[in-house]
Amino acid sequence: MNLSRILVLFSLLLLSPALLAIAKPIPKAPELAANSFILMDYASGRILAQKNPDMPIEPASITKLMTAYLVAKSLADGDIALSDEVTISEKAWRMKGSKMFIEVGKKVSVQDLIKGMIIQSGNDATVALAEHVAGSEDAFTEYMNHQAKQLGMANTNFRNSTGWPDKEHYSSARDIALLSQAVIRDFPDTYRYYSEKEYTFNDIRQFNRNRLLWRDESVDGIKTGHTEAAGYCLASSAEKDDMRLISVVLGTKSDKARTQQSQTLLNYGFRFYETHLLYQQGEVLKNARVWYGDQEEVPLGVQNKIFLTIARGRYKDLDASLEIDSNISAPLAVGQELGQLNIKLDGETLISEPLVAMQAVNDGGIVQKVIDRIKLIFN
């Protein structure tokens, strides 16, 4: 049955002096000397700046973000443990490039290997972990590509666990931002390693290559990458005033350039935007009339947290409205869509989210149906 909509306006905001600042225009996003880049708000997913965000490019050691994600997933699933002792294969030991300097035939704990992979960017540690999780690096790579699809990484194809150069090994700035978001969201216990500035193994002290960790206290990750073909790359994340940003800068000419340009992107986002949690998951926004049920009202709400990223100073200008189905009739199931939440700014719809029943409503029986039928006739 087609149901008409009843527009119900309600107050969204409680103003405070901090929110009464005069809105200022947002300047154009900075131009960066990079092959591609993206700046994304972690909570809302809004893209604040971009250049060639979907262009395939070699991700180099940023690839290790996916390896670390899958290692963390295996830990969470109970398939491996931090205390597992991994026997180092000859393949892992022979890996070139950045190293943790593990020795063939020796046993190293999963926890030490994770630190060697994330902090030292060790290719040897990365291959050892891939083999421990999946039996071989080739099998692990299949796992990586499967997970990439699950995360919506549409322009990614992995050929190895480390980011070792391969023409068929590529990703994009947008995909790396999505992966970074998943790393932070899904496995916070593992994410803490990305903020560690150094790690010593076998008396060899090595430093995290993410220079932003020393320059900006708000930065707590995430991963660098460099090959001759890829250039200097950096995925970074920072948090200020309950707002977290993720920047991905790919294909710069130097370590200094990737650091400075990532800082420029982060500064731009924090200076001109703000992110707000508008509604909690399961928050009740309205009680709606129900006909023919064992109760007269049903609470309506949203199924997920709703975040919104807007220009600084515009929070007070948001307009919210509920469109609720008329003649809502029992029975109703939890999660059944019964309307729409709309958030607008200057007449533009920024968010349109389903309103759903927060609890079930059973059939009211014959007597209740007769009573409600009479009420509806007179209404």
**How large a percentage of the chain has pLDDT more than 90?**
87
How far apart are the C-alpha atoms of 247 and 222, rounded to whole Å?
10
Name the helix (H) or strand (E) containing 6.
strand 5-9
Q: Determine contact, residues 188/194, Cβ cutoff 8 Å.
A: no
Q: Would residue 369 show up in a list of annotated catalytic residues for this protein?
A: no
Rounded to an integer, what distance in angstroms lies between the CA atom of residue 81 and that of residue 97?
A: 27
For the stretch 79-128, pLDDT in tens is 999 999 999 999 999 999 999 999 999 999 999 999 999 999 999 999 99
The number of residues in the chain equals 379
Q: Tell me: pLDDT of 3 over 80.
A: no
| Residue of 61, 171, 262, 329 marked active site | 61
Residue with tokens 């971009």: 50
Q: pLDDT tens digit string along 249-303? A: 999 999 999 999 999 999 999 999 999 999 999 999 999 999 889 999 999 999 9
* CA–CA separation, 364 and 31 (whole Å): 63
Task: Point out the catalytic residue in the list 74, 121, 161, 236.
Answer: 121
Residues 6+ away with beta carbon under 8 Å from 358: 282, 284, 298, 299, 300, 301, 334
- Please state the separation of Cα 281 from the chain's center in Å: 17
pTM of the model: 0.89
> Can you count the helices (H) and strands (E) in the chain?
10, 17
Active-site entry in 64, 99, 115, 223: 64
> Is the bond into 222 cis (omega within 30 degrees of 0)?
yes
The structure tokens listed for 258 are 């990737």
Strand-strand pairing, 243-252 and 231-240: antiparallel
Note if 121 is an active site residue.
yes
Decide if 38 contacts 47 (C-beta within 8 A). yes
**Full set of structural domains in the chain with CATH:** 5-18+280-378 (2.60.410.10), 36-274 (3.40.710.10)
Catalytic (active site) residue 61 = yes
Give the integer Cα–Cα distance in Å for 251 and 249.
7
261 near 300, Cβ under 8 Å?
no
150-191 confidence digits (pLDDT tens): 999 999 999 999 999 999 999 999 999 999 999 999 999 999
pLDDT digits (tens, 9 = 90+) for 190-217: 999 999 999 999 999 999 999 999 999 9
Handedness of CA 132, 137, 139, 143 (dihedral sign): positive
- Tell me the per-residue pLDDT of 13-58, one tens digit each, with 9 for 90 and over: 333 444 344 556 789 999 999 999 999 999 999 999 999 999 999 9
- When mean pLDDT is compared across 82-96, 120-134, 237-251, 360-374, the lowest value belongs to 360-374
